[in-house]
Amino acid sequence: MFINGEWVEARSGATFEVTNPATGEVIGTMPDGGAEDTEAAIAAADAAQAEWGATTAYERADLLMEAWRIMTERSADLAALMTREQGKPLKASSAEVKYAADFLRWFAEEARRITGEWLPSARKDQRFLSVKTPVGVVAAVTPWNYPISMLTRKMGPALAAGCTIVLKPAEATPLCAKAVYECFVDAGIPDGVINLVTAADPKPIGDVFTSDPRVKKLTFTGSTAVGRILASKAGHSLQRVSVELGGHAPFIVYPDADPVHAAKGAAALKFLNSGQACISPNRLFVHADHADAFIDTIVPRVAKVKAGEGTVEGVGVGPLVNEAAVAKVAAQVDDARAKGAEVPVGGMRLVEDGLDRGHFYAPTVVTGVTEDMTIYREETFGPVAPIVVYDDVDEVISMANDTNYGLAAYVYTRHLSTAIRAMEGLNFGIIGINDVNPTSAAAPFGGMGDSGLGREGGTEGIAEYQETKLAGIAL
């Protein structure tokens, strides 16, 4: 772990193993920290807060740019580590490292854009000055599915704003977190500004994060269930909270769309990271006029997707994170089958050619999906594309909004008016219009409803780590 500028073991001396989800191979060990370690990390961050918060925007920007340079320089090694630890294909890992580094560069620039403003007063002898200040010590919890970019998406704005940070990475991917921290250490980050606590059991750390009065903000990316628990506990301490949670993204193909183009887009997006993405399309609404063309295009494309270890040439889908994930995907597909759905491709766990050593599920298409099926209601987080055929264009927005989640949605149409009406009508924070990648470090990321609170990235991202301070000045 990294506490107050030093690499340290857990105070208990305990460790836990990190495994490759594609092979089951143990690839490393990490300290198994607990409450005492977390308290030490918070103390270090708290002690460093005043000095770090007093640095100039230019100093913070320069450090973030140096971290960006180092991360870019080490991109090949970081991608290789990610593929071993998380399982995604090497090409996808490389893309994620670039995306992750972009957050450092973007927020280095945002640091220099922190401004205040003079405000008018009704009194002639009074002026108001509003300024932005760092919120203080930040506790961050990051997920396993994007084990590098989810760190920089929080660390970048927090550090740019002048906050110190204590981060708990996912227990499945702590080696990636350690490698990211090494980039910051080599960039010259002052002692205590960034702290890393790792553990096999996240609960004791979360309990300290949400109860310690020195922690002024909690930021979490993960499941809605855990996010609710953490946000509820943080409420007792009146901590600032931002949580990026689950999704159940609709993918709407309108009658005026090109079904072949839409199917290609759906196939490219759905199986990214083995479907283990909160913005992954989970309900593909295809108009009846296009159903045959869409299915005839997507099925053979999915059949060609090769599953396997991410280092193998040509592999497009890696393993799921663990056995529980495989069981969840299998249960949803089996439930759909039992209720009348068809599975023209995939629909089984993969065990041939050594894949039984890992957690693999075949890239799958399910057709004839109806509202009574579990897959229609619940996030899958796996390589399954469920297709829902609809007839009434006037009802498809209501069908898409029939969920408590509100993170991402996708629309395929040739008409601008249809696109605008869909964007205005969909209750989702991110909407891709003929676009399967509506994300960028420069764009706000976040959802509505059960998908979370707050935004990451863009100009909104740094505001999550700032307080507003007002001075009333009598002349």
Kindly name the residue from 96, 244, 379, 464 that is annotated as catalytic. Answer: 244
Strand locations in 145-275, DSSP E? 165-168, 194-196, 215-221, 240-244, 249-253
278 is catalytic: yes
- Paired sense of beta strands 408-412 and 249-253, if any: parallel
CA dist., res. 253 & res. 258, Å (int): 8
Grouping H, G, I as helix, E, B as strand and the rest as coil, residue 361 is strand
DSSP classification of residue 444: -
Cβ-based neighbours of 418, under 8 Å, separated by 6 or more: 254, 256, 411
Reported as half-sphere exposure (CB side, CA atoms, 13 A), residue 88 has a value of 25
Question: How many other C-beta atoms lie within 10 A of the C-beta of residue 312?
Answer: 13
Per the CB < 8 A criterion, the answer to whether 145 and 276 are in contact is: yes
Instruction: Label residues 279-291 b or e (16+ Cβ within 10 Å = b).
Output: bbbbbbbbbebbb
CA dist., res. 190 & res. 171, Å (int): 26
CA dist., res. 257 & res. 246, Å (int): 28
Rounded to 5 degrees, what angle do the CA atoms 11, 13, 15 make?
120
Chain-centre distance for alpha carbon 130: 32
Question: How many other C-beta atoms lie within 10 A of the C-beta of residue 248?
Answer: 27
**Which residue has tokens 């901590």?**
239
Per the CB < 8 A criterion, the answer to whether 163 and 133 are in contact is: no
368 Rama class: left (phi>0) / alpha (psi -120 to 50) / beta: left
Measured in residues, the chain has a length of 475
Instruction: Label residues 381-404 b or e (16+ Cβ within 10 Å = b).
Output: bbbbbbbbbbeeeeebbebbbebe
CA dist., res. 436 & res. 177, Å (int): 27
Kindly name the residue from 163, 176, 183, 278 that is annotated as catalytic. Answer: 278
Grouping H, G, I as helix, E, B as strand and the rest as coil, residue 117 is strand
395 is catalytic: no
**Which residue has tokens 């990316």?**
221
Q: Which sign, positive or negative, has the C-alpha torsion 210, 215, 217, 220?
A: negative
CA dist., res. 15 & res. 350, Å (int): 31
Grouping H, G, I as helix, E, B as strand and the rest as coil, residue 344 is strand
Per the CB < 8 A criterion, the answer to whether 210 and 236 are in contact is: yes
Query: Letter for the amino acid at 442?
Result: A
What residues act catalytically? 244, 278
